[in-house]
Amino acid sequence: MTSEARPSGAVAGPGVAPFDLVPHNCFACGSLNRHGLGLLLHVEPRRSWTELVLDDRFEGWAGMAHGGIISTILDEVMAWSLVGEDNWGVTARLSVDFRRPVPVGSRIRADGEIATSRRRIVETTGKLIRLDDGEVLATARGTYLAADPARRRELRERYGFRFTDEPEGDTRGSVAQGADAFAKVGR
Residues 39 and 21: beta-carbon distance below 8 Å: no
Q: Is the pLDDT of residue 15 over 80?
A: no
Specify the amino acid at residue 124: T
Q: Is the pLDDT of residue 165 over 90?
A: no
Mean pLDDT taken over the chain: 79
Of 5-9, 64-68, 114-118, the least confident = 5-9
CA–CA distance, 40 with 50 (Å, rounded to integer): 6
Band of pLDDT at residue 7, cut at 50, 70 and 90: very low
Cα separations in angstroms, 18 against 29, 43, 143, 170, 175: 17, 10, 28, 15, 9
pTM score of the predicted model? 0.78
- Angle formed at CA 135 by CA 132 and CA 138, multiple of 5 degrees: 120
Band of pLDDT at residue 11, cut at 50, 70 and 90: very low
pLDDT of 73 = 97
Band of pLDDT at residue 130, cut at 50, 70 and 90: very high
Band of pLDDT at residue 21, cut at 50, 70 and 90: confident
Domains of the chain: 42-159 (3.10.129.10)
pLDDT of 87 = 87
